[in-house]
Structure 1
Amino acid sequence: MNAINVKIKRVRPEKGHSLPRYMTAHAAGMDLCADLDQELVLEPGERTLVPTGIAIELPEGYEAQIRPRSGLALKHGISLVNSPGTIDADYRGEIGVIVINHGTEPFVIGHNERIAQMVFAPFSRAAFEEVAELGESERGTGGFGHTGR
């Protein structure tokens, strides 16, 4: 299994905030925790930016993807508005998670509660070549459910 070196900084170290961690030996994502001064109540349909208390420095050619936690989605309807969110290698600010309550009940987020997961991935940049025509393919221009339900 590959590991990349990622530098991490606690934004408010005096609070004793939990750092992201893998919860099982084969987990792809590290859980991110909320860094809050007081509990936050998220009403149904409401969204908010939740601070994580960390900033990272990624190696060039990598991104961090911020994704919902499946248990929160299934049990409470809690998800992320921009999923996956992308943390670029040149971003040095605090990571914030845009959480939304799709459930029917208010959801309380406490300090150090696991609210999202972070997955690291290499990426490629594209160089466009403008052409008058594109090559043929079996699919062609079919999209948005063209193969059925």
Structure 2
Amino acid sequence: MHYVQIKKLPGNEDIKLPQKMSELAAGFDVVAALEEEVVLEPGQRTLIPTGLAMAMPAGLEAQIRPRSGLAFKHGITCLNTPGTIDADYRGEVKVLLINLGQEPFTIVRGERIAQIVFQTVPAIELTEVAELSETVRGEGGFGHTGK
């Protein structure tokens, strides 16, 4: 079990802590901590505050991901998905939303806007080499296998 500390920032005492919406959910829904509603026009993007900061132990990261219902019903999704929050970040968690839909979308305080999924980060050491081992795929990428 990993323990993550969550802090409500001043003025956000009414904001709900991230919560799982079902027993086996992978993500914790986060809500908007807006002082006034925001209308997100088609094609527009904006940072939405959550009113929360957190402290994670080394070896964890938090990923900000879209909510599938908002994406399907309204075309609202997150840019930079998944957005990574590193274990040493202590600032406010914000969500970069974009409206890919065809209608304006209004975001209000307390609305569920995204989810946080926590992942372990493996310890990695990079080693510079002059040559890489060969594979069948080689340098093929970006559609090289066809449709």
Q: Report the TM-score when normalising by structure 2.
A: 0.96
Deviation, structure 1 residue 14: 5.2
Q: 1:53 to 1:117 in 2, by over 3 A?
A: same
The alignment of Structure 1 onto Structure 2 pairs a total of residues equal to: 147
Picking from 25, 28, 31, the partner of 1:30 is 28
Identify unmatched segments of 5+ residues in structure 2: none
Picking from 46, 49, 73, the partner of 1:48 is 46
Partner of 1:116: 114
Partner of 2:134: 136
Deviation, structure 1 residue 119: 0.3
Deviation, structure 1 residue 133: 1.0
How large is the RMSD of aligned CA atoms in angstroms?
A: 1.1
Q: 1:14 to 1:109 in 2, by over 3 A?
A: closer
Partner of 1:75: 73
Deviation, structure 1 residue 38: 1.3
The 3-state SS of whatever aligns with 1:79 is strand
Partner of 1:9: 7
Partner of 2:104: 106
Q: Is the 8 A contact 2:12 2:51 kept in 1?
A: no
Partner of 1:58: 56
Deviations 1:4-51 (A, max 9, x none): 111010013554111100000000000010001111110011000000
Work out the CA distance in 2 between the residues paired with 1:50 and 1:125: 32
> Which stretch shows the higher mean deviation, 130-139 or 101-110?
130-139
Picking from 122, 125, 128, the partner of 1:127 is 125
Partner of 1:18: 16
Work out the CA distance in 2 between the residues paired with 1:4 and 1:75: 34
Deviation, structure 1 residue 146: 1.1
State the AA in 1 paired with 2:58.
E
